[in-house]
Amino acid sequence: MWPLRFALVAVVAATAALVAGCGSDGTPRRSLALADCRLPNFATAAQCGELEVPEDRDRPDGRKLRIFAAVLPANTLTPKDDPLLILAGGPGQAASYLAPFAARLAELRRTRDIVLIDQRGTGRSSPLTCQAFRPRDDDVFETDPVPRARQCAQELAAQGVDAAQYTTTAWIVDLEAVRVALGYARWNLWGGSYGSRVAQAYLRRHPDAVRTVTLDGVAPPDMVITLDVWHTREAALDAVFDACAASPACRRAHPDVADTLARIEHALGPSGRDLEIVDPRTGAVERHRVTFDVVLAALQPLTYNPETVSLLPEMLALAAAGDLAPLLAANPALSGNLAEQMNAALHFSVTCAEDVPRIRPGSEGEALAGLPTRRLAEQTIAVCGVWPRGRMPADFAEPVRSDKPVLLLSGGMDPVTPPAYGAAVATGFPNSRHVIARGYGHIVSPHACAPRLVSAFVAAGSVAKLPEPCIARLEQSSPPPLWPDRLGPQP
């Protein structure tokens, strides 16, 4: 699950034509016309097309959406007929941006297609676009998403968009329609983070269309994204503080990291302070109002990656000395292309339909009591008071059970979908293997030998014949050493 305030600059491809039908022998036949196209950060051409679907399936003659699908063809003239489908995270991430991960699965692609489909409302699938969520230079200093969410909801309504129709349930129906249009009798699912929720929901509805399932950064169906992530991220920060205390070098440089954070809070005060900050992108000195919530919000995404986790003690020490630039520079909203990958409006359409309604009245305050990030959490939840709310099925949060082969991957340092979540989900899959990569964070599959593990699992269609040396390497991995100062890691 990713940070919330990201907008999307979308490019809509127009390459599709539909011709219905099946082969004379009754086998599925592709009815979705594909043409060469380019995907972000992917060196070769993919085969892409668009499938038209109703925005609201209760009103089939109403507004239409175009669902963008990209096929990375197998490197053989006789590919297997069950491709790998990659389901992106977020909610709000466009799968077309995961082509670099697909490139890591070269062994799998020798015999199978890899399919990337942008979820409705993201990427090139009729994206939910509004001026309110376009990136701004001061985004990292804004901690309350409600005003911009209210403005975006109004903009979408003025465009004729029904934001209540952009849910996981609607996405599952879209996926099945695309599978049929692409002519695949079944496929193998890979779902990361929120994508693991989608994979489980799809398996619940369409078990006969699934051969294998890989869940990475496993989100149980009953996970309440907008509430639960604040606890697990706080636990991840506590683990960093404990690790520094246990490291002689880090302890010498930073005797009490938790106290450093408390000193930052005290220095900023309840209403924040105006500080001069060097913009990490331009080097210009700018003056901004910095509150403690700004610091806490900047810390959240840094817990996802063990490499940035290792820098936290030093970055907090610099922040306490008045230099916030390193902390802000590490934020992926500034240093990467997350603003292009993620769609904030889709994120709220999903979480306001599926997560916030499951927060029991009166339980929010109790669940967030004592958390430094309580205000951030409450403001995020409050978005759903101004956002259109879709529907979810009655069994949405119930565990999924299946005898399909399932590989579950968890990062030992994952701050949002910790290994305990993977263990809980695994109980519903008797034909499964749960691998915990102790030294890795959120999403394991792209790292070290994990692409080979995923490829071997899909090829075998079984958890009985997995590369054990790779599993041992992941399970015995260690977190990167903490950087106690700017000279580098020390023993």
| Domain residue limits, the chain | 1-491
**Quick one: pLDDT at residue 11?**
26
Question: Cα(414)–Cα(438) distance, rounded to whole angstroms?
Answer: 9
Question: Rounded to an integer, what distance in angstroms lies between the CA atom of residue 109 and that of residue 83?
Answer: 9
Residue 460: both structure tokens together: 């075998």
- Alpha carbon of 287 to those of 262, 278, 290, 318: distances in Å? 23, 9, 9, 18
Q: Quick check: 175 and 117 in contact, CB under 8 A? A: yes
Q: What 3-state DSSP class applies to 129? A: coil
- 216-252 pLDDT, tens digit per residue, is 999 999 999 999 999 999 999 999 999 999 999 999 9
CA distance 450 to 214: 12
Look up residue 355 and give its DSSP letter.
Answer: T
Name which of 210-214, 322-326, 329-333, 487-491 the model is least confident about.
487-491
In tens, the pLDDT along 426-452 reads 999 999 999 999 999 999 999 999 999
- Burial 314-338, CB ≥16 within 10 A → b, else e: bbbbbbbeeebbbbbbbbbbbeeeb
- DSSP code, position 192: E
- Phi and psi based region of residue 398 (left: phi greater than 0; alpha: psi -120 to 50; beta: remaining): beta
- pTM of the predicted structure, to 2 decimals: 0.91
Structure confidence by residue, pLDDT tens digits, 258-292 = 999 999 999 999 998 888 887 777 778 888 888 99
Distances (CA, A) of 451 to 96, 118, 423, 454, 485: 18, 22, 21, 5, 33
**Size of the chain, expressed as the number of residues it contains:** 491
Largest CA distance in the chain: 75
Q: Which amino acid is at 290?
A: V
pLDDT digits (tens, 9 = 90+) for 149-170: 999 999 999 999 999 999 999 9
217 Rama sector, left if φ>0, alpha if ψ -120 to 50, beta otherwise: left
Query: In sequence order, what are the residues at sequence separation of 6 or more whose Cβ sits closer than 8 angstroms to the Cβ of residue 240?
Result: 257, 303, 309, 312, 313, 482
**Residue 12 CB coordination number (10 Å):** 13
- Per-residue pLDDT reduced to its tens digit, 82-105: 999 999 999 999 999 999 999 999
Query: Token pair of 349, please?
Result: 């359409």
Which pLDDT band holds residue 335 (cuts at 50, 70, 90)?
low
pLDDT at residue number 135: 85
User: What is the residue type of 250?
Assistant: C
Summary mean pLDDT of the chain: 90
Choose among 100, 125, 102: nearest CA to 114. Answer: 102
d(CA 475, CA 14): 45
Q: Which two tokens stand for residue 434?
A: 């749960």
Specify the fold of 1-491.
Rossmann fold (3.40.50)
> Does residue 26 have a pLDDT over 60?
no
